[in-house]
Structure 1
Amino acid sequence: MRRAVLTAAALAGALTLAGCGTGSGSSKADLSVSASYMPQPVSADMAAGFLTITNKGGTKDELTSVTSDVAGQITMHSTVGGSMEEKTSFAVPAHGQLVFKSGGNHLMFEKLKHKPEQGQKVTLKLTFAKSGPLTVEMPVESATYNPSTGH
């Protein structure tokens, strides 16, 4: 009988500890998107896109695909040493960021169904390995837009 009571007490203690946390969702990914934009495309069939994905959670995640009604497909690329390479996914680190910017990681909108114009917004769906999808409204800016100056 004593053994059953000790086992039950140990099990109750373990369950109590398993339920403990910070209450801020730190044990899972907590994703948000900022600084998204598409420079107005200069070609009728291809465009680039940039954004920042922030993870305030304690678990890493992975961006596995991006889709939009404006393009036949969207591919993800990294640029290292001037060489562009297509990627099937990008890690979004815990308590960190995944940055897509000119000259670095970026999105390529291929087979455009229509050419987005400055002032319009393009809707994207970001799909992750663990978290639910995020929908993003990406503004189309001038072809020479610089996010650090806002012009």
Structure 2
Amino acid sequence: MSKIHVSTTVNGDAVEYLCDPRETLLDCLRDKLSLTGAKEGCGTGDCGACSVTLDGRLVCSCLVLGVEAEGKEIGTVEGIAEGDVLHPLQQKFIDYAALQCGICTPGILVAAKALLEQNPDPTEEEVRFWLAGNLCRCTGYDKIIRAVMDTARDMREAV
């Protein structure tokens, strides 16, 4: 099977890669671009560990083909921090100990950032609804929800 050339933008940088037409975006990010933040937890879109944004829309990268990224903007957990400066959401996850093993954390961070970009003043119910597609077996959701809510408050107050 012949490889397909894909030109896309990942975390603001123009990139190109060759992929098999059946390869997932998750595999392309990890294997072709060495962006290993997104994890394969289930391979069926049920756990959210592979969450990325595709043209601003939250998606499970295990359910998107790598060729579908052609001409699109992809956002991964690696693009959340600005250089060595953590995004406020990342810092709150540390402050609240809202992470443990790290399998789910990248997907939850991407999903939470997408939520805050869409809705900078979410209710707790909205945060819980938005993150419902991300499963965590280690931390428990209370710390995660509090970290997201506190980040939202701090970001609103900073404006």
Normalising by structure 1, we get a TM-score of 0.27
Higher relative helix content: 2
Higher relative strand content: 1
The structure having more radius of gyration, on CA atoms, is 1
Normalising by structure 2, we get a TM-score of 0.26
